[in-house]
Chains A and B, each alone.
Chain A
Amino acid sequence: MKPKLAVVKMTGCAGCQMEVLRIEDKLLDLTGAVEIAYFYMATSANRHGPYDIVLVEGSVSTPRELRELKELRDGAKLLIALGDCACSGCLPSIVNWVPPEESAKVYERFLEIHSRKESFQRVSPLSAHVRVDLELRGCPPNRDAILEALKGALLGIRPFLREHPVCVECKLKENACLLVCEGRPCMGPVTAAGCGAACPSNGRVCEGCYGPMSDANASSLAEIFARRCGLSQEDIVRKFRKYAGLMPAFSKEAGGKI
């Protein structure tokens, strides 16, 4: 029997699911190997769980999602965090540093709505609540990595994902280093690869959207930002409190735990 695949959305922008749809040319091959049992954005034929392979996009930000996540985990052979929101909270994790009163102002009658639709006004990665078998980083993760993860799931192996820094891919593309040659504050040295050094290859500093690499030396880079790129302390905090400020490897430079 084909393993059942579910693509589930929590608090996120659907970009990761769009990236899943971007494996379109392999999608038909994929349906030969797995049964797409749940994928609300793409189909109205959605079956009840449990599912074997679960891809979860988005972070956890409501009690309803937390309940759903635990249920999915219980039934899943493989729970894969799809993208930064699920792995680290992504950009919306910045809200965790905003006092709840401030974010409540977004809704005039917040409490009234709250009684029916609850929100933690905080986001947290899946791993804060359940065991996650594989994390596909990136905002969004590259479709190749998604395919590798699915192949790995079918073969019963751990796929090769690039946990080394963006600089490796950047150098293999023979880019002139923006940090060293131009003194620009590039997050490449502390950011996990996988994007193919998308930003530096396009003349732009890495903003860190793949989160910390396996051995991120955030304090050294922060020091380089201050010394070589002339960044203020506030700017440095903003750099690290961005896609993955909640991650332990960045939390000090992101202005401390919250």
Chain B
Amino acid sequence: MRGMVVPKDSLGELVSKLSDRYKIFGPKRKGTEWIFGEVESADEMDLRYSTTILPPRKFFLPTSERLFSFRMDGRVEEPEEPDIPALIFGIHSCDLNALLLLDAVFSSGQFPLPSYVKRRERTALVALTCTEVGDHCFCESMGTGPSPAGGYDVLLTDLEGEYLMESGSRRGDEILALARGREASKGDFDRKAEAIERAKSKFKRRVDLRDIDELFLKNLDNPIWERLGEKDLACGLCVNSCPTCFCFDVRDKLDFPMDSGVRYKEWDACVLLEFSQVALGGNFRRDRSARIRQFIGHNLGWGGASQFREFRGKAKCVGCGRCIRYCPAGIDLTEVLKELRGA
């Protein structure tokens, strides 16, 4: 294992070197919250952020994306190659693992999505071990944090005053080569392990995943779904902030004067009424209770993970807690799970 230890105040220098090669995105303040946004220097970033409003999937599956454009005479044009190489700085372990799940949907299998694959290839990921734990986090239970086991180019761990930098790829080696610091020692890795242990002891939420698929399938008629359906606003905040939700719609849009147009996709959410609507007003999940059951069931139970055999996580959910943090109605999937278990 190769690693370096760099002083915290050298981060600015590293970021400015990296910005010659990459367009850099990092966690920035937005009101009371944070977003991943473009940064020019290290001090625009707030690496002590809890979670961002939208997860990093927005970079790989943009909220709205052209699949191709066409002219009415049948000529079709594919979108250009995605833009210059990018680097996402400070991605948390949960969000990183979420990308690994999305990989199983969009870059493997029979029909990989070229734009996704290219964006993933061209984007360097500098991950961050979480040494602090947010009120809504439960990544530990999901096996996705607080420190990632892989999938990053570089992993940063805050060792108070300095960062341990580990490389996870060739690209990571190159990034490390730009850093100014010393070779990491065994002692440094021990400090990292301690930091992780300390973080683990701070989790306020834990979920019990034993026999989770069966638990949900057994409880399809549990009255809890009715109750949640009454509270649920079907506003979609949970799905749209979820790092692993990947559903989208495909639509056509014609330009005036209607001789050309685009086919594009846009994020959609299973909690919305229109999601399961078919012709003549048919709908397979008309009731809010069925839709909230789908959201929670797909995230925790009935094989959200097993749907994509390549993905080795325990469930679709990575425990980032966004859906809990952002639900106006206070719906909390960890509490739902507890209730299903009769606790």
CB within 8 Å of B: which residues of A?
Answer: 26, 29-30, 32-33, 147, 151, 154-155, 160, 163-165, 167-168, 171-172, 174-177, 179-182, 188-190, 214-215, 217, 219-221, 224, 228
Contact = CB atoms under 8 A, between A and B. Distances in A.
Interface in B239-271: 240-241, 251, 254, 256-258, 267, 269
B5 to A, nearest CB: 35
Contacts of B240: 168, 171-172
Nearest to B252: A160
Contacts of A182: 31-32
Contact of B288 (A33, A155, A215, A221): A215
Contacts of A167: 233, 235-237
Nearest to B251: A160
A189 B329 CA distance: 10
B63 A176 contact: no
B122 to A, nearest CB: 22
Contact of A168 (B30, B53, B269, B329): B269
13 contacts: A33-B258, A167-B235, A171-B241, A172-B267, A176-B32, A176-B53, A189-B233, A190-B233, A214-B273, A217-B232, A217-B233, A217-B234, A220-B231
Contacts, number: 103
B235 A33 contact: no
B35 A168 contact: no
Interface of B: 30-33, 35, 53-54, 58, 63-64, 230-237, 240-241, 251, 254, 256-258, 267, 269, 272-274, 288, 325-329
B288 A164 contact: no
- CB-based closest 5 A-B pairs: A167-B235, A176-B31, A215-B273, A189-B235, A171-B240
Contact of A163 (B31, B58, B231, B274): B274
Chain A at the B interface: mostly helix, strand, loop or mixed? helix
Given A32-B257, A171-B54, A180 B237 contact: yes
A33 B258 CA distance: 10
A180 B30 CA distance: 14
A180 B325 contact: yes
Contacts of B231: 217, 220
B177 to A, nearest CB: 34
A221 to B, nearest CB: 6
Contacts of A172: 63-64, 240, 267
A67 B160 CA distance: 78
A220 B233 CA distance: 7
A171 B272 CA distance: 14
A153 to B, nearest CB: 12
Given A29-B256, A163-B274, A168 B326 contact: no
A30 B326 contact: no
Contacts of A180: 237, 325-328
A221 B232 CA distance: 9
Nearest to B277: A214
A172 B256 CA distance: 25
B254 A151 contact: yes
Contact of B329 (A155, A165, A175, A224): A224
A151 B72 CA distance: 14
Contacts of B258: 33, 151, 154-155
Contact of B33 (A147, A176, A190, A220): A176
